[in-house]
Structure 1
Amino acid sequence: MLFIIPTVDILLAEQTAFVKRLQEDAEKLNRLGWGRAEDDRTSSQTGSSMQSNEGGQRTHGERRYTVQSKLFDGQIHGWLELPSAVIDEQTRREAFDSAVQFLENVHRKYGWDYEQSCIE
């Protein structure tokens, strides 16, 4: 999961506490092996700050829970839905690119690569 969090938000404390709790839960579940597929259990990033619970490289067959958050300074609740005239389009693009990169990483981790699929 990736959370895009504006820093000028009445729910900022709740959102960051929620993300922290999810990261801790994900870490525990990953340690216990709950994130792995059934048949795998028997085998052995402010303004742009990214936080992640990942501890290293994963093998293709190993599934793990991942929780990340990205904070955007000076943005308000619902800022991504506002028209470009109201917010900085570069900041919106950064949030969008972060989300796309997160999805690409998840897909790649489990065996699908967008770049490779375009070549085939």
Structure 2
Amino acid sequence: MLDFLGTVEAGELPGGEFVVSANGPLDERIAAAFRDTLMPLTAAAGAPLLLDLANAHGLDAAAMLVIADAAHVVGRRGEQLGIVTRSPLVLRLISESGLDEIVKIATSLTEAIGREDTAPAGGRHADG
């Protein structure tokens, strides 16, 4: 049986947004690389940070902890971490962890880039 290892990479888009993309299993085997890639970008004040999980699966507690840490750091600078996913499992994990209160969810990277004023994942707008 093959045991695939996930990958994580980061880049900057032409509009200045930073994107961290995870592919394959996002679990404890790559949690350190995930943290080392994502966390330095949380300090880039004024630059939107997007976490593209569209091709990721198998998120475990270690991966969720990295995501939570990043979301809280970005939140302390008055912004929201953007998360790209369509996965019902990932959406459920985000909701159950309470992160849906502090992140923005988009179903595609294009959607995430094009909507800076989105409501939190829970669907509530700032005005109530």
TM range, smaller chain? 0.3 to 0.5
**Greater share of helix residues, 1 or 2?**
1
TM-score normalised to the size of structure 1?
A: 0.32
**Greater share of strand residues, 1 or 2?**
2
- Highest relative contact order (Cα 8 Å, sep 6+), 1 or 2? 1
Larger Rg over CA atoms: 1
